[in-house]
Amino acid sequence: MIIKSASIDDVVTIQKLAAVIWPVAYNEILSALQLDYMLQKFYSIEALQDQMLTKGHRFYVIIDDNMDEVGFAAVSNENAGTFKLQKLYVLPNQQGKNFGTMLLNEVTSFCRKKGGKSLILNVNRYNKARFFYEKCGFKIIDEVDISIGNNYFMNDYVMELNF
């Protein structure tokens, strides 16, 4: 297993992983139209390049022992001492193998090295991933409804992990 810091050359890989993961992760939560809209908004090549190059998101890709990419994560520095987990996804058939925990550990290690005191994230209120984050020590600190255009909203919990 390898976790590598992703570069602009990895955006196609990240996009392909999201296209497989998102329909499974959100099929019971979002309409097909909203799912397609959000994939385009957040995972188009242009959107991923913007996140890396303009917004300063640091991406990681996890590769299994067969040298297959099986998941990814992204983190950003929100303000002094606070980082935000922007993304953490693992292929459905690879979940339960600790890849998500390994990615999260890589992100938290990076945050600590950069002087981080806490890591926040948003998770859909109906997404079972919330329980993974709680198991990892995150606590719900807020509830938000974020407009993302086209009359769509992200109905999220804000969760926090203090180091």
Domain residues of the chain, as ranges?
2-117
Topology classification of domain 2-117: Aminopeptidase (3.40.630)
Which two structure tokens, joined as six digits, stand for 135?
Answer: 């198991």
Q: What DSSP character marks residue 68?
A: -
* Partners of residue 157 on adjacent β-strands: 123, 143
Strand ranges (E), 16-151: 58-63, 69-79, 82-90, 118-124, 139-149
Question: Max alpha carbon distance in the chain (Å)?
Answer: 42
Across residues 21-35, what is the average pLDDT? 96
Mean pLDDT of the chain: 97
Percentage of residues in the chain having pLDDT higher than 90: 99
17, two tokens: 């992983």
Please give the pLDDT value at position 158: 98
Backbone phi, then psi, for 151, in 5-degree steps? 65, 25
CA-atom Rg of the chain in angstroms: 15
Q: How far is residue 113's CA from residue 126's CA, in Å, rounded to a whole number? A: 32
Confidence of residue 67 (pLDDT cuts 50, 70, 90): very high
Nearest to 129 by CA among 39, 15, 19, 28: 28
Question: What pLDDT digit, counting tens, does each position of 109-131 carry?
Answer: 999 999 999 999 999 999 999 99
Quote the CA–CA distance of 1 and 147 in Å, as a whole number. 37
Global pTM reads 0.96
Confidence of residue 16 (pLDDT cuts 50, 70, 90): very high
